[in-house]
């Protein structure tokens, strides 16, 4: 087993001599043993857990399958083995004392008064913990099982940041808010179970505790992509066992999660402290249903006709199928963007659905905040939780006055639109990558770090109080308004990567905790992201050479037509050079790249095909400052026609997140892989970059040589590169092994690519 301490080289652009603070920071800490350090290299490789505490599970959390402290300890044991390279023993013992002289890691209950560890509203939190570290041992005491778990996340970050050594520390910590979530739109694009599990592992590392799974939706009707509404893409992500309901899938049964799949996803996420909150949309965004039963639609075909006698029974039948699957005390019924003229029908529907779900499964319901002016003075039931997303749709201050529990998903700070922002779609302008500046400088006010109380970026006096009992917390959201082919699954991670860490940190710390250091947080997130246990969303590649060349392969006489390369996928950034003699296919777990006999050069990802298209060198190189990666159809020197590739030749693929995957043939830029994005009612269309990881598992056909470089550099360049400009991925030498871990900068502050 290989440990992942980082010894002599730098990861990304952050020198290892520079400290990386935990994200989120510890609420109250003191370096009382600063002259002492603890390292797993010394002493016993034993995790002790108090036997009585081992059986504790939290009753105040949302999941219906809460892990015990011992369950969390076993997951921690696996993570520790992955990070340190040592096999650790987990032992239950009758009694633990934080003052014991034995060496190892000790897990038990919080030694102080449980009422000391509270949310910011004063309510006791089982998510709080204490941590004590000296030269012989680590003690983590949880106010509950999850508190102990979050303490292990802090220890893991300290270990990684200290390169395997942790300074002596005493600290106590607890989250400011109970809801610290992220939402992914899986109703306009399919996401695999494995990807969603990795995303849960990643989010947990930054103390996120909810995954809002938006599992049904449809492509916007006003984009003009399809001739009829029946052809517009809609999706439902779960596979009903009741075959009479499978009309909602529209032939895409292979792009769903079965009952067992979903149980596995929930179990995996909750094992890392994350509860899955499923959302089934209705009565808006319901094309998945109205294409199956068109008689239930209003003239705007993705809206349900709530006066039709079969509408409510049909929606309730769908929920009856899936409620037994959902291992959570709360679910989300959508209720977003319905016709305001039909407000009373809408309110009646929401209340009936909420009561139905509560009486059937004893679960509370969440809805999106939606402006519905009742003509009969009807109101949404007070036990419905409102997820505020936009002013004009709901007012969080008024909601709290009216007695509703509220979640902050204000679109100004929380929303991203995968691949392209909403420009020129109005009124919202949602960025393709999470807008970090709106967390560090809320309302465009310098040094106002956002917390979950901060909703209104215009009238800054209208926020909620820090101790507001009805404020549950916050959830960021990544939307697929541009459709299923506009991005890959991993591009959702690139969009959310920093946002998950930042929102997790600020929702944990709140106004009472330490603020993030803006000048170092980006590099710390870049440092931690590829190292968070039980995920490889960065598609880190192992190589056996201490060189910028991560992989070099040449066909030998013993190689057959098919060659097993065995390297999976390489994530951002990379340059892949192929010496090509004929048609070939490179494949990996995430995608495939093929050249056929007719010269068609195509990436295939999630069943979608993306041919290489002609793009000028200028368009490939220069990024629109407001819309990086986007090439407008009315302002381009590129034809975007498919490129025919002849052989033999040398093909070079250069990839980073903003430029996408650009192709050079024999040193000349010929195009990139891209997707056509419809502009909607403003009718300004564009081509947007597709960013593909390099498929490196299997090779079939006419590639004679393959070379992979861990940075995004073009072949036709002046070999001298600007000083001080980071060039993408770095090779990081592991102390215990000659294996190299390679990673790349991805996200909103990606590296420049030079010609």
Catalytically active residues are: 337
Residue 72 is inside which H or E element, if any?
helix 69-84
Burial class for 347, CB neighbours closer than 10 Å (0-12, 13-18, 19+)? buried
3-state DSSP assignment of residue 474 = strand
- How distant is the alpha carbon of residue 50 from its chain centre? 34
3-state DSSP assignment of residue 66 = coil
Q: How crowded is the C-beta side of 41, counted as CA atoms within 13 Å?
A: 13
> φ, ψ for residue 650 (rounded to 5)?
-115, 120
d(CA 430, CA 426): 10
Query: Longest C-alpha distance within the chain, in Å?
Result: 82
Smallest CA-to-CA distance from 193 within 129, 130, 255, 277 is with: 255
d(CA 265, CA 272): 11
What letter would DSSP give residue 11? B
Q: Return the structure tokens found at 549.
A: 């060349």
Residue 331 is inside which H or E element, if any?
strand 330-334
Burial class for 536, CB neighbours closer than 10 Å (0-12, 13-18, 19+)? middle
145-161 vs 69-84: helix crossing angle, rounded to 10:
10
Burial class for 605, CB neighbours closer than 10 Å (0-12, 13-18, 19+)? buried
Q: Return the structure tokens found at 245.
A: 């309901």
Work out the number of other CB atoms within 10 angstroms of the CB of residue 589: 13
What letter would DSSP give residue 83? H
d(CA 470, CA 122): 12
d(CA 211, CA 133): 32
Residue 23 is inside which H or E element, if any?
none
Owner of token pair 């300074």: 167
Contact residues for 232 (Cβ-Cβ < 8 A; gap 6+): 218, 219, 221, 225, 226, 287, 302
Strand-strand pairing, 364-368 and 385-388: parallel
CA-CA distances (angstroms) from residue 102 to 46, 48, 112, 134, 341?
10, 10, 21, 11, 70
Q: Return the structure tokens found at 235.
A: 């999706």
Contact residues for 622 (Cβ-Cβ < 8 A; gap 6+): none
Smallest CA-to-CA distance from 754 within 621, 623, 573 is with: 621
Q: What's the CA dihedral at 258, 259, 265, 269 to 10 degrees?
A: 160
CB 18 within 8 A of CB 522: no
> φ, ψ for residue 754 (rounded to 5)?
-110, 140
Q: How crowded is the C-beta side of 126, counted as CA atoms within 13 Å?
A: 17
CB 453 within 8 A of CB 468: yes
CB 556 within 8 A of CB 546: no
CA-CA distances (angstroms) from residue 667 to 577, 715, 716?
10, 5, 5
CB burial of 159-184 (b: ≥16 within 10 Å; e: otherwise) equals: bbbbebebbbbbbbbbbbbbbbbbbb
Owner of token pair 């509860």: 275
Contact residues for 382 (Cβ-Cβ < 8 A; gap 6+): 402, 403, 404
Smallest CA-to-CA distance from 656 within 686, 624, 694, 697 is with: 694
């Amino acid at each position: 087993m290989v440990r992942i301490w980082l010894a002599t080289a730098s990861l990304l652009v952050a020198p290892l001599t520079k400290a990386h603070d935990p994200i989120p920071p510890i609420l109250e800490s003191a370096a009382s043993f600063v002259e002492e350090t603890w390292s797993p290299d010394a002493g016993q490789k034993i995790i002790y857990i108090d036997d009585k505490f081992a059986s504790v599970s939290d009753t105040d959390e949302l999941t219906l399958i809460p892990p015990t402290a011992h369950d969390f300890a076993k997951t921690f044991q696996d993570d520790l083995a992955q990070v340190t390279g040592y096999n650790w023993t987990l032992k239950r013992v009758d009694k633990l004392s934080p003052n014991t002289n034995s060496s190892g890691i000790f897990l038990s209950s919080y030694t102080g008064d449980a009422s000391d560890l509270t949310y910011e509203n004063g309510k006791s939190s089982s998510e709080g913990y204490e941590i004590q570290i000296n030269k012989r041992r680590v003690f983590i005491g949880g106010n509950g099982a999850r508190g102990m778990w979050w303490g292990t996340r802090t220890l893991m970050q300290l270990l990684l940041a200290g390169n395997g050594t942790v300074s002596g520390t005493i600290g106590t910590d607890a989250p400011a808010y109970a809801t610290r979530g992220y939402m992914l739109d899986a109703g306009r694009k399919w996401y695999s179970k494995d990807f969603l599990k990795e995303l849960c592992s990643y989010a947990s590392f930054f103390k996120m505790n909810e995954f809002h799974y938006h599992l049904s939706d449809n492509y916007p009707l006003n984009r003009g992509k399809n001739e009829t509404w029946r052809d517009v893409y809609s999706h439902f992500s779960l596979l009903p066992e009741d075959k009479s309901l499978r009309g909602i899938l529209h032939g895409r049964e292979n792009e769903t999660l079965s009952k067992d799949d979903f149980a596995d996803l929930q179990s995996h996420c909750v094992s890392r402290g994350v509860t899955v909150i499923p959302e089934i949309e209705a009565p808006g965004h319901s094309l998945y249903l109205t294409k199956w039963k068109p008689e239930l639609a209003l003239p705007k075909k993705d809206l349900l006709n709530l006066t039709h006698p079969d509408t409510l029974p049909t929606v309730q039948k769908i929920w009856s199928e899936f409620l037994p699957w959902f291992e959570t005390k709360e679910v989300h019924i959508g209720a977003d963007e319905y016709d305001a003229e039909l407000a009373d029908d809408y309110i009646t529907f929401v209340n009936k659905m909420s009561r139905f779900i509560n009486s059937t499964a004893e679960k509370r319901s969440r809805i999106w905040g939606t402006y519905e002016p009742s003509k009969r003075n009807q109101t949404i039931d007070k036990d419905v939780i409102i997820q505020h997303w936009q002013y004009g749709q709901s007012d969080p201050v008024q909601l709290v006055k009216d007695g509703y529990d509220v979640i902050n998903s204000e679109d100004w700070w929380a929303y991203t639109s995968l691949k392209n922002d909403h420009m020129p779609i109005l009124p919202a302008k949602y960025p393709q990558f999470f807008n970090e500046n709106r967390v560090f400088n809320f309302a465009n006010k310098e040094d106002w770090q956002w917390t979950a109380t901060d909703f209104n970026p215009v009238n800054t006096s209208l926020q909620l109080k820090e101790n507001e009992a009805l404020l549950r917390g916050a959830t960021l959201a990544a939307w697929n308004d541009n459709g299923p082919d506009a991005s890959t699954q991993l591009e959702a991670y690139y969009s959310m990567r920093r946002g998950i860490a930042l929102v997790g940190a600020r929702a944990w710390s709140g106004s009472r905790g330490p603020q993030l250091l803006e000048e170092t947080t980006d590099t710390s997130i870049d440092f931690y992201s590829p190292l968070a246990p039980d995920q490889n969303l960065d598609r880190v590649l192992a190589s056996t050479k201490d060189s910028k060349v991560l992989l070099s392969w040449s066909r030998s006489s013993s190689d057959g037509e098919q060659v097993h390369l065995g390297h999976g996928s390489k994530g951002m950034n990379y340059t892949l050079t192929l010496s090509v003699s004929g048609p070939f296919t490179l494949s990996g777990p995430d995608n495939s790249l093929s050249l056929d006999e007719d010269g068609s050069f195509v990436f295939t990802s999630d069943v979608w095909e993306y041919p290489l298209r002609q793009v000028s060198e200028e368009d490939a190189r220069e990024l629109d400052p407001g819309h990086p990666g986007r090439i407008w159809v009315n302002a381009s020197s590129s034809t975007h026609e498919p490129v025919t590739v002849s052989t033999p030749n040398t093909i070079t693929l250069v990839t980073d997140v903003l430029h996408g995957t650009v192709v050079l043939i024999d040193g000349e830029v010929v195009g990139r892989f891209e997707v056509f994005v419809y502009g909607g009612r403003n009718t300004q269309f564009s081509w947007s970059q597709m960013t593909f990881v390099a498929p490196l598992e299997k090779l079939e056909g006419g590639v004679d040589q393959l070379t992979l470089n861990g940075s995004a550099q073009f072949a036709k360049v002046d070999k001298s590169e600007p000083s001080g400009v980071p060039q993408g991925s770095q090779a990081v030498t592991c102390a215990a092994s000659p294996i190299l871990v390679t990673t790349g900068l991805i996200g909103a502050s990606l590296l420049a690519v030079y010609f």
